Chains A and B, each alone.
Chain A
């Protein structure tokens, strides 16, 4: 059974295996197919039209399924690998071990934002940024630029306390847990972390930065924590909602999985500590 661990607790061997599996997916071309898929959804998900991956109730089950698919691709390279999660309420500094040279590498240099250490620096030769929105083919970051701050545990708890999963109009204007976790309203959790990292993570091609997976694994864990805290709450809407994935509707691009199928993560993986 796959066990997703806090990235801060990984052994050197676990970090090495994870990084090497990422590099192999990149080399094979498989990695970039995930970037392409994400960008296609982020550009086509709109508040008043079809919306599946973002700004909609299915933000959480869509990303759960997307991460499972990615983790399975990693495991096809090395069955020992599981996606780690980044608890950015605890590891909230550019000097955290997450950003060390033996793991994801650090922030970008000031001149052009280029990450220049670790396995994902363009100078290491193994991480070309090919699926992109501008001419720059190197991984960029600007960790905490402009004095931005990552969300605090208290801010996370304020969102986990919301008992209603989602509300009409089921988009970036909604009240409820999903939109506050996604960040279009309120204290802003998920969106703010993308912006804090900067570089490609702030763009539609955000999975170009491997930290994408660790960020979303933590968002996914927060969903599990919310479920544990609100056992009588569930995914909404239930049925017949235009442009929105209801509980038992299938989700693109897989077309064979529904939000209902994604509610219990323990069918696919567990966490290192109880949710």
Chain B
């Protein structure tokens, strides 16, 4: 591959990531639709995604005492995410795998069916702790 096609330095990538983190939920037309708390029993089923690049639906619910939210972001194609997840209002870095499964920075080596399942797994992992801003 050409070196010119690659982001020039790690520093540039980190800066771009920080920008994504700060702005993902600051968009006026971003955030989620109506809450769907308590109505989802499909933790292990696909959440509106698959091998096609369709976006998972927004969600906004309480899980084990934490507010978890997910919504498409305005950064489609940038960093390959296009979807942002929050726990108690704080950004959870998530990533979609090529096979349509998802991971987060809190569960980075275990895949989940979708962003809601990733958010719930993070709540379990956090044991009440708050996320902190990404590096």
B108→A204 contact, CB < 8 A: yes
Bound-complex Cα distance A40 to B131 (A): 17
Neighbouring B residues of A246 by C-beta, 8 Å: 1
Contacts of B129 in A (CB 8 A): 134-136
Which residue of chain A has the shortest Cβ distance to B129 in the bound complex?
A134
Secondary structure type dominating chain B contacts = loop
Say yes or no: is B130 at the interface (Cβ < 8 Å to chain A). yes
The count of chain B contact residues (Cβ–Cβ below 8 Å) is 34
Q: Which of A211-255 contact B (CB under 8 A)?
A: 240-246, 249-250, 252-253
Interface residues of B in 89-135 (CB under 8 A from A): 93, 95-99, 105-111, 125-127, 129-132, 134-135
Cβ-neighbour of B127 out of A112, A194, A203 (below 8 A)? A112
A46: chain B residues at CB < 8 Å are 79-80, 95
Whether A133 and B131, one on each chain, are in contact in the complex, defined by CB atoms closer than 8 angstroms, is: yes
Choose the segment among A97-105, A120-128, A156-164, A167-175 that binds chain B (4+ C-beta atoms closer than 8 Å): A167-175
* A134–B80 CB distance below 8 A: no
Decide if B44 is an interface residue (CB 8 Å cutoff).
Answer: no
Q: Taking the complex as formed, is B41 at the interface, i.e. its CB lies under 8 A from any CB of chain A?
A: no
- The 0/1 profile, CB within 8 Å of B marked 1, for residues 28-65 of chain A is 00000000110111111011111000010000000000
* Size bin of chain A's contact surface: 35 or more
**In the complex, what's the smallest C-beta–C-beta distance from A259 to chain B, in angstroms?**
12
- CB of B110 within 8 A of CB of A202, answer yes
| Contact (Cβ within 8 A) A134 B126 | yes
Which of B8-16, B55-63, B67-75 lines the interface with chain A? B8-16
Binding site for A on B (CB under 8 A): 1, 3, 5-7, 9-10, 13-14, 17, 79-80, 93, 95-99, 105-111, 125-127, 129-132, 134-135
